[in-house]
Chains A and B, each alone.
Chain A
Amino acid sequence: MKTFTFDAQVTAALFDRIGAVFALGDGAVVFESGERAEAHDGAVLCACVHPSGDGVVTGGDDGKLVWSRRGESVLLATAKGQWIDAVDAASETGLIAFAFGKTLSVIDVADAAFRRDFVHERTVSGVAFEPKGRRVAASTYGGAALWYARIAQQQPTVLKWAGSHTGVGWSPDGAFLITTMQDNQLHGWRLKDQRNMRMGGYPAKIRNMAFLSRGRLLATPGAQGVVLWPFEGSNGPMGREATEIGFDETSLVNLVAAQAKHGRVAAGLNDGRVWVADPSAQGLERVKADKGAPIVALAFDAETTRLAWADEDGQAGIVDL
């Protein structure tokens, strides 16, 4: 196990194709190998892996979108001084989408002149590319909007559901769109007929979500254990119940991590503990048994053989499983 101590909040932990990367509240991007890039004058607010797989793209409260690799940071785009709250990238198409205020912008890593700006009625809280990278979803108050990422003039497909949606993701087959909501629930839409799916019953905020097991399960935090929703068949979780693994009444799961192709799920708890489990097998592997500050960043590498985490006090670690 490798450990790190940062004198800053950790906004995100990620794995690019080389190793683990931490994006920090002091504007820096720190690589597992020790390189440090001063990416922002301010805090990193959001981060994702670059479409090339090399380095990370961060959005900051300085209104800049920056690509940091080991030894180099380059400015990709700006947001008129506004905070960049959300970012996602599509390796299939080489596109990056980021949100500031009510605007969702799309840029192309292969074409510096390409930029699309899509404006919404309310502030954009989250962005996510569909798995093929051609469409991009934006969550806002009142629902989500789907845009074709490259087309300049278009009317988005608007998926409505009352309430404040705080984040968004796609099922790996592109058939379902899921949002996290302010009031401790998920909402989902089956895209072929826009049928609504309400997924509630959570005691706490759902800060992220991740598909695993070839898309057959959706894992979320927001409860005393990891909540798993079945997504087999064309009905997804409709009419079926969620299961919960790793239940511990003394703590809440703050974050989950998984990769769609693999069967493992990781949980970062609000008491600083981290565990990994395979829902098709028994037991939990306690990766970090010591309690501490709440886990605020958690990520698997592509093969789910390595896990990175960070807590609210700037303590971080990387473990080989």
Chain B
Amino acid sequence: MTDKTPVTVLTGYLGAGKTTLLNRILTEDHGKRYAVIVNEFGEIGIDNDLVVGADEDVFEMNNGCVCCTVRGDLIRVVGGLMKRQRPGKPAFDAIIVETTGLADPGPVAQTFFVDEDVKAKTQLDSVTALVDAKHVMARLDDSKEAREQVAFADQIILNKVDLATAEELVAVEARLRALNPLAPILRAERAGVDLDKVLGRHGFDLERILEVRPDFVNPPHGAEGHVHDEDCGHDHDHGHDHGHDHHHDHGHGHGPRGHAHQDDIKGVSLSLDRPLDGTKFTAWLDRLLAEKGQDILRAKGIIDVAGEDRRLVFQAVHMILEGDLQRPWGDKERRWSRAVFIGRDLDEAALKAGFESCAA
């Protein structure tokens, strides 16, 4: 048997730079073999890679789950791509799915959990949103799809940072963080991100849910308290010095949501220092996703269950929930429960009350 082929879903509105990024993936000398599934495109192979056209054939499953919409064309195309696989050898190092500018990422992601064949052969690696620094604020204002793409993402590539001022970038990143506190933001010019960083995120892999840190959402680049980590993605040669003193860029008085940007979508972070009752928590989470799953785009959490030495980890895409007991808590590790829900019109107070009522 062969390892599952990782799949990266690339979202982003028109002009964000998806085509530039895809061209880099297809033409760079990376020694990898990728299949790229694009919209309405004749099938053409470039060197070692394969580009396949798909028609965004979204449909509802007849299984009674109202949000179980999937991409039928992806089931077909992934099945076809897997026919190229040789015994014991994956046909491709990764599959990259490009979505149209207005696409809802939900059905694409759900396809990888709902269809048994696709699930057996592939592993959703990440949903990566591409936005451009100059126009993203206007897109987020006028497009529900643009907000959902950001909120749904495992990582956000903030492209064309050379076209925005430092102040604009601070405001943009603050708003992106409010929409999605989980996704790291990679800054880029001309979609120039390190492909190894973009692919291979394991964004949906329960084993890799190691850190969900709602108390420490890294403030945006240039804001007070920002810590440069591996996800900053800034080129150290693009002209401004990160070495010291980030304090000059902040201080415009707007909160984490920017000036007037009260987005309908936001991330809600929950945490509790006491252990949770496992049965109560599971029942609460099941009920929450059953009732509000259509509005909850993504959720992730690490839970300290009373009487259990291992960490309970979970992640959800709308109503599709995966959870498992993971590795044991470390001896010196702080045992606490934390979860992040990203969705539309979330009632933060109710979520907090519900979460805390699960205390053992």
Verify if B75 is at the interface (C-beta below 8 Å from A): yes
Query: Within the complex, which residue of A61, A164, A312 is in contact with B80, where a contact is CB–CB below 8 Å?
Result: A61
Q: Is the CB of A63 within 8 A of B43?
A: yes
Q: How many residues of A contact B (CB 8 A)?
A: 37
The interface residues of chain A, by DSSP majority, are classed as loop
Task: Pull 27 A–B residue pairs with CB atoms less than 8 Å apart, ordered by A.
Answer: A6-B87, A9-B83, A9-B86, A25-B84, A42-B84, A43-B80, A43-B83, A61-B52, A61-B83, A82-B43, A83-B43, A83-B77, A83-B80, A85-B80, A122-B57, A123-B57, A123-B72, A125-B76, A141-B57, A141-B59, A181-B62, A182-B62, A204-B116, A293-B1, A313-B87, A314-B86, A314-B87
Q: Is the CB of A313 within 8 A of B88?
A: yes
Q: Is the CB of A81 within 8 A of B44?
A: yes
Verify if B53 is at the interface (C-beta below 8 Å from A): yes
Residues 42-67 of chain B, each 1 if its beta carbon lies under 8 Å from chain A, else 0: 11100000001101010101110000
Within 8 Å CB of A163, what residues of B? 59, 61-62
Nearest chain A CB to B70's CB is how many angstroms away?
A: 8
Q: A182-B72, A204-B116 are in contact. Are A61 and B43 (CB under 8 A)?
A: yes
Q: Is the CB of A81 within 8 A of B59?
A: no
How big is the B interface, by class? Answer: 20 to 34
Verify if B73 is at the interface (C-beta below 8 Å from A): yes
The 7 closest A-B pairs by CB, nearest first: A25-B83, A43-B83, A313-B87, A314-B87, A163-B62, A183-B62, A43-B84
Verify if A192 is at the interface (C-beta below 8 Å from B): no
Tell me the nearest residue of chain B to A43, going by C-beta: B83
Nearest chain A CB to B117's CB is how many angstroms away?
A: 7
Nearest chain A CB to B97's CB is how many angstroms away?
A: 16
Tell me the nearest residue of chain B to A314, going by C-beta: B87
Tell me the nearest residue of chain A to B89, going by C-beta: A7
Q: Is the CB of A141 within 8 A of B86?
A: no
Cα–Cα distance between A90 and B75 once the two chains are bound (Å): 28
Verify if B85 is at the interface (C-beta below 8 Å from A): yes
Verify if B82 is at the interface (C-beta below 8 Å from A): yes
Cα–Cα distance between A42 and B62 once the two chains are bound (Å): 34
Nearest chain B CB to A167's CB is how many angstroms away?
A: 12
Nearest chain B CB to A295's CB is how many angstroms away?
A: 14
Cα–Cα distance between A25 and B121 once the two chains are bound (Å): 15
Nearest chain A CB to B273's CB is how many angstroms away?
A: 44
Q: Is the CB of B87 within 8 A of A85?
A: no
Nearest chain A CB to B315's CB is how many angstroms away?
A: 24
Cα–Cα distance between A205 and B83 once the two chains are bound (Å): 18
Known: A8-B86, A61-B84, A313-B88. 5 other contacts (CB 8 A): A8-B87, A9-B86, A85-B76, A182-B62, A312-B87
Within 8 A of B (CB), among A1-59: 6-9, 11, 25-26, 42-45
Tell me the nearest residue of chain B to A61, going by C-beta: B80
Within 8 A of B (CB), among A149-199: 162-164, 181-183, 185
Tell me the nearest residue of chain A to B42, going by C-beta: A81
Within 8 Å CB of B61, what residues of A? 163-164, 182-183
